[in-house]
């Protein structure tokens, strides 16, 4: 009888100990949290074909084609790569931290409610980029998946006027020039592929024509801005291509700097003064 009593007491003690352990474990363990998304969106950058970006009142729309990205609105033109190199990787960026659901932090802190930059990749939900975050190089970003703190490299130096999205080059890489009409010279490619200048100028070596064409192909403006309609053209340059198309640039200023206007786009390309001679004066780089 005494032995049975000791066994019962031992069993009761074991059950009580187990109950205490289970109670303490449930009390001290944080309930498991669902894992946050590993990337900002579900899109792969190389699978994105359309991009719409709103900055304040400017809306820019772009599409990826066989020759790269082109603006579709407000104008149709080749796109500069600087903004794309920032925004396309953002789609697959890994957030530094998930801050919670939308609205979990006041908008005066995040700036995502009235975000300065709103990006839409293809038909996905918009990505709203707000204020700079507490860590250097981070920003508050809101998506349909929540509110995040995201490192975004090279975002701060970018300008966001619609003209800043335009390629700063004068000749698209995929275009083949056939003739270039300058204010004082006309450059033409002959059947052998050599460039000739007319009228012939004995003070200029034959290679100067090819050098001028190369300068136009490689030229990149310091900036592209909306055309200043108060300034009229002083001369005109016309580029003719093998496909029968042509491109006109109006010369707005050639001293002390160079300003070329694309009348179709309504924008001015600003160059340093040292670009005047290579682009307009038929100067060989060796001279």
Reference 150, options 69, 26, 16, 41; nearest CA is: 41
Q: What's the domain count of the chain?
A: 2
Q: How far apart are CA 262 and CA 268, in angstroms?
A: 6
- pLDDT for res 30: 42
Q: Please, are residues 260 and 251 in contact by the beta-carbon 8 Å criterion?
A: yes
CB 234 within 8 A of CB 253: yes
Residue 202 shares a structural domain with residue 182 = yes
Cα(151)–Cα(140) distance, integer angstroms: 9
pLDDT tens digit sequence for 188-218: 999 999 999 998 766 777 789 999 999 999 9
pLDDT of 101 reads: 85
- Residues 158 and 216 placed together within one structural domain of the fold: no
Mean pLDDT of all residues in 170-192: 94
- Region 242-271: what's the mean pLDDT? 97
Is residue 147 situated within a structural domain? yes
| CB-CB neighbours of 242 under 10 Å | 11
- Per the structure, the complete domain to which residue 143 belongs is given by 45-163
CB 115 within 8 A of CB 129: yes
* 88/189 same-domain check: no
Residues 190 and 274 in one domain: yes
Q: What is the mean pLDDT of residues 160-184?
A: 95
Q: What is the mean pLDDT of the chain?
A: 88
Tokens of 173: 């890489």
pTM (predicted TM-score): 0.80
Asked if residue 263 belongs to a domain, the reply is yes
269 is a domain residue: yes
Q: Which residue carries 């190389």 as its tokens?
A: 46
Residue predicted with more confidence, 62 or 38: 62
- Calculate mean pLDDT across residues 75-99: 94
H-state helical runs in the chain: 2-28, 82-90, 107-110, 207-218, 276-280
Q: Environment class of residue 142 by beta-carbon count within 10 Å: exposed (0-12), middle (13-18) or buried (19+)?
A: buried
Q: Which secondary-structure segment (H or E) carries 173?
A: none
Asked whether residue 152 is domain-assigned, the answer is yes
Domain boundary among 142, 163, 184: 163
* 7 within domain boundaries: no
H or E segment to which residue 194 belongs: none
Residue 36 has pLDDT above 60, yes or no: no
Is-contact 83 168, C-beta < 8 A? no
3-state secondary structure of 14: helix
Of 134, 163, 192, which residue constitutes the final position of a domain?
A: 163
């Amino acid at each position: 009888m005494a032995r049975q009593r000791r066994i019962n007491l031992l069993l009761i003690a074991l059950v009580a100990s187990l109950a205490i352990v289970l109670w303490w474990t449930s009390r001290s363990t944080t309930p498991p949290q669902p894992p946050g998304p590993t990337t900002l969106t579900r899109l792969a950058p190389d699978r994105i074909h359309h991009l719409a970006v709103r900055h304040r009142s400017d809306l820019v729309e772009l599409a990826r084609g066989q020759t790269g990205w082109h603006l579709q609105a407000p104008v149709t033109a080749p796109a500069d790569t600087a903004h794309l190199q920032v925004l396309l990787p953002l789609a697959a960026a890994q957030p530094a931290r998930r801050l919670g659901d939308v609205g979990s932090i006041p908008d005066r802190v995040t700036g995502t409610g009235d975000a300065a930059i709103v990006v839409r990749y293809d038909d996905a939900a918009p990505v709203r980029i707000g204020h700079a975050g507490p860590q250097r190089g981070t920003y508050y970003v809101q998506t349909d998946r929540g509110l995040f703190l995201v490192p975004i490299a090279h975002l701060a130096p970018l300008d966001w006027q619609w003209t800043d999205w335009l390629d700063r080059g004068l000749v698209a890489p995929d275009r083949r020039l056939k003739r270039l009409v300058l204010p004082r010279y006309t450059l033409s490619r002959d059947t052998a592929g050599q460039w000739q200048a007319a009228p012939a100028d004995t003070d200029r070596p034959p290679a100067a024509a090819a050098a001028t064409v190369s300068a136009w192909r490689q030229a990149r403006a310091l900036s592209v801005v909306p055309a200043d309609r108060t300034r009229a053209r002083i001369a005109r340059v016309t580029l003719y291509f093998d496909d029968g198309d042509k491109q006109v640039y109006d010369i707005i200023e050639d001293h002390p700097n160079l300003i070329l206007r694309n009348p179709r786009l309504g924008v001015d390309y600003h160059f340093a003064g040292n670009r005047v001679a290579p682009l307009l004066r038929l100067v060989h780089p060796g001279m």
